[in-house]
């Protein structure tokens, strides 16, 4: 779960259960600290497995074993790499729009406030997008976004989860 999703979920739960402000602040601080150090997958698993003559590789982004034909790189399938590139392109556009220099000398006080608040919104959006890009990706969403990758097996029924292997 991405950091922003984790914090939003915790905030909603605390509001739903009417947690005190002191408890809410403490829990959010704890989650913030935890999310800084908990970026890696903690389950030890084989990266490559062979089952019934078919080779599979673990996709870190979709969290399933996919046929090795779906991979071009080591830890992420072609579909996840495409999604990563799309996130990167979006980030580049957001950062470019943030870096546009504002001529503050000719702006009124209200216009200056508007520019600064829009910059804060852009910074927040950039931070959230970076967190999503660094997390796990939804296979169905990726499949809809990039429906045609040559040689990619889109049949999720041929993927293996940890539960399937147990």
Structure tokens at 166: 């147990």
Q: What is the pLDDT of residue 30?
A: 85
Over 54-98, what HEC string results? Answer: EEEEEECCCCEEEEHHHECCCCCEHHHHHHHHHHHHHHHHHHHHH
Residue in the block written with tokens 């169905």: 140
Q: What does the pLDDT profile of the chain (166 residues) look like in tens digits?
A: 566 677 778 888 888 888 898 998 888 888 877 776 665 555 677 888 999 899 999 998 898 999 999 998 778 899 999 999 999 999 998 888 776 655 555 656 666 666 666 677 778 888 888 888 888 888 998 999 999 999 899 999 989 988 888 7
* Separation between Cα atoms, residue 57 and residue 69, nearest integer Å: 9
Structure tokens at 85: 């590139």
């Amino acid at each position: 779960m991405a950091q922003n999703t984790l914090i939003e979920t915790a905030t909603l739960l605390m509001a739903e259960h009417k947690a005190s402000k002191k408890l809410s602040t403490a829990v959010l601080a704890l989650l913030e600290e935890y999310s800084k150090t908990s970026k890696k997958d903690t389950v030890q698993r084989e990266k490559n497995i062979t089952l019934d003559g078919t080779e599979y590789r673990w996709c870190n982004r979709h969290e399933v074993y996919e046929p090795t034909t779906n991979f071009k790189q080591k830890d992420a399938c072609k579909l996840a790499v495409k999604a990563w590139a799309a996130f990167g392109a979006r980030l580049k556009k957001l950062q470019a729009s943030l870096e546009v220099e504002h001529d503050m000398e000719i702006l009124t006080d209200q216009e200056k406030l508007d520019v600064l608040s829009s910059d804060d919104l852009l910074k927040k959006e950039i931070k959230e997008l970076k967190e999503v890009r660094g997390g796990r990706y939804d296979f169905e969403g990726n499949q809809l976004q990039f429906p045609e990758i040559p040689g990619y097996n889109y049949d999720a029924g041929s993927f293996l989860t940890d539960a399937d292997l147990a």
